[in-house]
Amino acid sequence: MRRGREILLWIVILSLLFVWVPKVYGGSATHFQVIVPSTAKIGVPFNITIKALDSNGLVDAGYTGSVNLTVNSSVGLTISASTPALPYTFVAADAGVKTFQITLSGSNISIPWNTATITADDGSINGTSSGFQVTGGVPNHFKIDLSSTNIIAGDSITFTVIVHDVYHNIVADYNQTVIFTSSDPQAVFSPSTYTFIPADNGVHTFVNGVTLKTAGSQTITVSDSSISSTSSAITVGFSTLHHFNVTASTLTPTAGLAFDLTVTAVDEYNNTITNYLGTVHFTSTDPNTNVVLPSDYTFVAVDSGTHMFVGGVTLCTAGPQTIYVEDTSNPLIKGNLTLNVQPEPLSSCTFQFDPIGPQTRGNPFSMTIKVVDSFGNVNQSFSGIGFNANLTSSAGTVTPSTV
């Protein structure tokens, strides 16, 4: 009997340990709970969860309605993609809870973020999430704002680099290093590279960040390891007159033969001063009196800063000779060109004997024979190979008599 009581007691104890707790199911759904992350990026997928709840906040596991999602924001965000697709009809296996992977699109996201909410609605009931922060997405390009698009060569301009995603939103968390280049081969950037920091929020201004020096239409380009963008055109005008560039149709003119000379008025960066109307004067280091140089010339508008003097120069003395050009109103503004003048061809050369003059009878003396052109330039290209000359004298002997 006692043993029977013990068995009964254990049965009672075990039954108390394994009390059956019935599973509580919610009633019909009266609203949705929309669970979102604290932040999201434009163009980057993220997860949200929708729960169909009854008036007591319990999940309606039997909910099978068709739900659509919308984004609420001040900047017109939209859902550009969703998995599963929207609208979505809940199925029994969902048991009133479904997670979606969605992607937002939109433009004009401010620095550094905008607040948005997401609403779930099936036409009868709805629910809205708490607010979450939306920022620009993956860097896609740079927007380059210029302080000026019309400058003078040598001037510096300020430019601002803004990092944008594909929808032109600012990518506030951008932290890459960018490098700067320009269509102007003389451009100078300060700095030449820059690494964005958190305080930039995707935007940085470079005060007097670039100096452009080449006249014409120029651009600047900003690049990182994966993207590159180019600014709008910057018109660079020439600076003030600095010197003359002097060029010739040949750098090895032949003595006595005319050649062309071109004079261009330029600034310190070698940009042509297209409105130069000054007068230039010419001189040279060639001492020969037969030298021909252009007369003083006053530039006219049609020259656009460059004038060619066709056949305007003839030099006569072989070797390096320099032509000088200077502005008559300011001789400090000048230019020059050094050329290597060549002797006339052999067909125009003669022999020159040195010395030529009185000698003492019976005393031998040395004599040098030179092949010279009509200006007295020695033709050093003459080798004598295959050439024989007989030497005679009317009053003595010459040794050797043949060279």
**Beta bridge pairs of residue 323:** 284, 337
Q: Could you tell me if 246 and 300 are in contact, meaning their C-beta atoms sit under 8 angstroms apart?
A: no
323 lies in the same domain as 373: no
Q: What is the DSSP letter of 390?
A: B
Closest CA to 214 of 301, 272, 275: 272
278 lies in the same domain as 366: no
Residue 7 resides in a domain: no
pLDDT in tens, the chain (403 residues): 555 555 555 554 545 444 444 455 568 999 999 999 999 998 899 999 999 999 999 999 999 999 999 999 877 789 999 999 999 999 999 999 999 999 998 876 665 567 899 999 999 999 999 999 888 889 999 999 999 999 999 999 999 999 999 888 899 899 999 999 999 999 999 999 999 999 999 999 999 999 999 999 999 999 999 999 999 999 999 999 999 999 999 999 999 999 999 999 999 999 999 999 999 999 999 999 999 999 999 999 999 999 999 999 999 998 999 999 999 999 999 999 999 998 876 544 455 445 566 666 656 655 555 566 666 667 666 555 445 555 555 555 655 545 5
317 lies in the same domain as 379: no
- Give the whole-angstrom CA distance, residue 135 versus residue 101: 17
Choose one of 206, 237, 268: the last residue of a domain. Answer: 237
219 lies in the same domain as 194: yes
Q: Could you tell me if 267 and 240 are in contact, meaning their C-beta atoms sit under 8 angstroms apart?
A: yes
Residue 3 resides in a domain: no
Residue 252 resides in a domain: yes
Closest CA to 165 of 196, 133, 132, 142: 142
Residue 16 resides in a domain: no
213 lies in the same domain as 253: no
Residue 55 resides in a domain: yes
371 lies in the same domain as 356: yes
**pLDDT for res 386:** 45
Residue 12 resides in a domain: no
Kindly report the number of other CB atoms within 10 A of residue 118's CB atom.
26
119 lies in the same domain as 188: no
- Give the whole-angstrom CA distance, residue 72 versus residue 383: 96
319 lies in the same domain as 257: yes
Choose one of 135, 160, 175: the last residue of a domain. Answer: 135
Domain that holds residue 83: 31-135
**pLDDT for res 388:** 55
DSSP SS3 for 302: helix
Choose one of 77, 110, 135: the last residue of a domain. Answer: 135
Instruction: Please enumerate in sequence order all residues whose Cβ is within 8 A of that of 264, keeping only pairs 6 or more positions apart, or say none.
Output: 244, 245, 246, 247, 272, 305, 306
Residue 41 resides in a domain: yes
Rounded alpha-carbon distances, angstroms, from residue 117 to 7, 98, 105, 133, 332:
62, 18, 14, 9, 72
The number of distinct structural domains making up the chain is 4
Residue 261 resides in a domain: yes
205 lies in the same domain as 284: no
**pLDDT for res 350:** 52
Please report which helix (H) or strand (E) contains residue 16, including its range: helix 2-17
Kindly report the number of other CB atoms within 10 A of residue 385's CB atom.
5
357 lies in the same domain as 333: no
**pLDDT for res 12:** 47
Burial of 183 (0-12, 13-18, 19+ CB in 10 A): middle
The backbone torsions φ and ψ at residue 382, rounded to the nearest 5 degrees and listed phi first, read: -75, 120
Give the CATH number for residue 103: 2.60.40.10
325 lies in the same domain as 354: no
Q: Could you tell me if 331 and 244 are in contact, meaning their C-beta atoms sit under 8 angstroms apart?
A: no
